[in-house]
Amino acid sequence: MSKSLLSSETLLQQAASEIDSDTPRLDAELLLTHVTTWSRTSLRAWPERLLTDDQQQKFTCLLARRVAGEPIAHIVEQQAFWSLSLKVSSATLIPRPDTECLVETALELTLPPGARVLDLGTGTGAIALALCSERPGWQVTATDVVPEAVALARFNAEQLGLSVDLVQSHWFTSLPQDRFDLIVSNPPYIVADDHHLSEGDVRFEPRSALTAGADGLEDLRLIISQAPGWLEPGGWLLVEHGYDQAGAVQQLFAASGFEAVTTRKDYGHQDRLTLGQKPARKAQNHTL
């Protein structure tokens, strides 16, 4: 056996010292499990296990990509979201844990057993597929303007055995006329010149999925203003937005006639989600 072969623990320690992230050890473990197919539990149970030459070379190549800043999810082409494992690519955003708060909020709403639900800008399909996995009776439609994203979401749906109707559309533009009980969206909401766009994982994600004009509200304005025309009376709109946009988004909801407008916090206790209800039809008074 080659003397140059290293144990998994030695490789992990060396890799963690090179990775500049908030979770260097976790990043290294995810890369190593991807190369070896060993579980993270087994890495801890048998830290002395040696890698083969081929495994070590593959790990070194993947580590170089992570050291250069490429997101772990892009390198291993997978990301966990909700209870699902999703294939990801550079054509879409990487699903974030805080977006699970949107799923939680949607599931708390009182909707019909066969509710019609629309996910605008689905990307990997994360939100739509999470909702579908929890409410199999719901009729879920998901859209994205990027053909590669639609194909990726369709792949994830097929792999997970979940039924979602995928449509290539710029927001509502190419949808067949329909009414929904719930519309959800995690649209672009970052200001176009935000300095964070040149930092961290977002450097490798599509700018069109991140930014929305000079104030970050361009797409939210469109979605919120047009949503009432696509909602059943009493239907809900639920959107994710920037931590400092809650006040502006609430005003947009109010201007579009929504009631019961509420903002929810994410796991970091930042204002991240706003929802509102389209007024139900009022009973007509009949004069005899």
257-277: pLDDT as tens digits: 999 999 999 999 999 999 999
Mind listing the pLDDT tens digit for each residue in 137-150?
999 999 999 999 99
Q: Which fold has domain 82-277?
A: Rossmann fold (3.40.50)
Q: What per-residue confidence (pLDDT) applies to 21?
A: 87
1 or 193, which is more confident: 193
Q: What per-residue confidence (pLDDT) applies to 218?
A: 86
Q: How far is CA 267 from the centre of its chain?
A: 14
**What is the model's pTM?**
0.85
| Domain segments of the chain as ranges | 8-69, 82-277
**Mean of pLDDT values over 180-193:** 83
Mind listing the pLDDT tens digit for each residue in 35-93?
999 988 988 899 899 999 999 999 999 999 999 888 899 899 999 999 999 999 888 88
Average pLDDT, the chain: 88
Q: Which amino acid is at 127?
A: I
Mind listing the pLDDT tens digit for each residue in 8-45?
999 999 999 999 888 999 999 999 999 999 988 988 89
Q: Which CATH architecture has domain 8-69?
A: Orthogonal Bundle (1.10)
**Mean of pLDDT values over 222-251:** 96
